[in-house]
């Protein structure tokens, strides 16, 4: 099922169980090579999500701000973006240009992500593709500026969202997850992949 909320294209149930399980395997391999970490924010608080990346650069945050880093904080390179993720990007965006970064966020029990814009990229002409795996997450969609009325939708395992066009800089966040609502991840939690063209 395809829905559009405030310019975000939402493909509910796009990935079947086998595709979801295969992506979890891909994520596990990325996290073995580039372990998950909880970044510090410029506000001096650790993020509640754990994250790593695949691609030529990885999204990174520390006390000095948000950026894309050419290497994992451990010093090694980021693994390549898995083929199935690139295939999904090409299928749903129709673009010949592949993403530079696939950020992998893991939401454990109690993790959330405050309202923000994705604006650390050089150009906002490219969409952001977001894939949800595991426990359901309450995704809030706001406006082009902070504040105002918002709309929320539960993103479930296998749902894919394309945030592009006029909605590329729309504020969004994850209020909470429904821990234990999916059996995809043996220890529970939610994985979200976001692919972005960075340069
Ligand atoms: C993000 O905005 O980076 C993550 C969105 C999500 O977890 O669904
Ligand atoms: Mn975001």
pLDDT at 27: 98
pLDDT of residue 136: 99
Q: What ligand has the least distance to the C-alpha of 156?
A: 1
Instruction: Starting from the CA of residue 120, give the closest ligand.
Output: 2
Which protein residues have their CB within 5 A of the ion that is ligand 2? 118
Q: What are phi and psi of 81, to 5 degrees?
A: -65, 130
User: Buried b / exposed e across 73-101, counting CB within 10 Å, b at 16+?
Assistant: eeeeebbebbeebbebbeebbeeeeebbb
Nearest CA to ligand 1 atom 6: 192
Beta bridge partners of 174: 113, 139
User: Where in the chain are the domains?
Assistant: 2-196
Which structure tokens are listed for 24? 């979890």
Local structure of 91: helix, strand or coil? helix
- Cα 19 to ligand 2 centroid, rounded to whole Å: 23
Read off the pLDDT of residues 15-28 as tens digits, 9 standing for 90 and up: 999 999 999 999 99
Looking at residue 43, its pLDDT comes to 87
In the prediction, which pLDDT does 39 show? 92
Q: In terms of CATH, what superfamily is 2-196?
A: Alpha-ketoglutarate-dependent dioxygenase AlkB-like (2.60.120.590)
- Which of 173, 176, 177, 196 for a ligand 1 pocket mutation test, highest count of atoms within 8 Å of Cβ? 173
R_g of the chain, CA atoms, integer Å: 15
The mean pLDDT values, 10 residues at a time, for the chain of 199 residues are 96 98 98 96 92 98 93 97 98 98 98 97 98 99 98 98 98 98 98 98
Query: 3-state DSSP call for residue 1?
Result: coil
> Which atom of ligand 1 is closest in space to residue 155's alpha carbon?
8
Q: What is the pLDDT of residues 39-81, one digit of tens each?
A: 998 888 999 999 999 999 999 998 899 999 999 999 999 999 9
For residue 170 and ligand 1, the question of a CB distance below 6 A is answered with no
The residue among 106, 104, 109, 105 whose CA lies nearest residue 180 is: 109
């Amino acid at each position: 099922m395809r829905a559009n909320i405030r310019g975000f294209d939402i493909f509910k149930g796009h990935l079947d169980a086998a595709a979801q399980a295969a992506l979890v395997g891909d994520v596990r391999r990325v996290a073995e090579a580039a372990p998950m970490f909880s970044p510090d924010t410029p506000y001096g608080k650790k993020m509640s999500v754990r994250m790593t990346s695949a691609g030529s650069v990885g999204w990174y945050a520390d006390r000095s701000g948000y950026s894309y880093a050419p290497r994992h904080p451990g010093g090694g390179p980021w693994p390549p973006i898995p083929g199935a993720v690139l295939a999904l990007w090409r299928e749903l965006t129709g673009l010949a240009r592949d993403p530079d970064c696939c950020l992998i966020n893991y939401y454990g029990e109690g993790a959330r992500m405050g309202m923000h814009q994705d604006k650390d990229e050089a150009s906002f002409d490219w969409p952001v593709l977001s894939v949800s795996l595991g426990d359901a997450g309450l995704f809030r969609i706001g406006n082009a500026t902070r504040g105002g009325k918002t709309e929320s939708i539960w993103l479930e395992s296998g749902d894919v969202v394309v945030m592009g066009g006029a909605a590329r800089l729309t504020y969004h966040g994850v209020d909470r997850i429904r821990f234990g609502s999916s059996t995809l991840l043996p220890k529970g939690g939610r994985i979200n992949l976001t692919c972005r063209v960075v340069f």
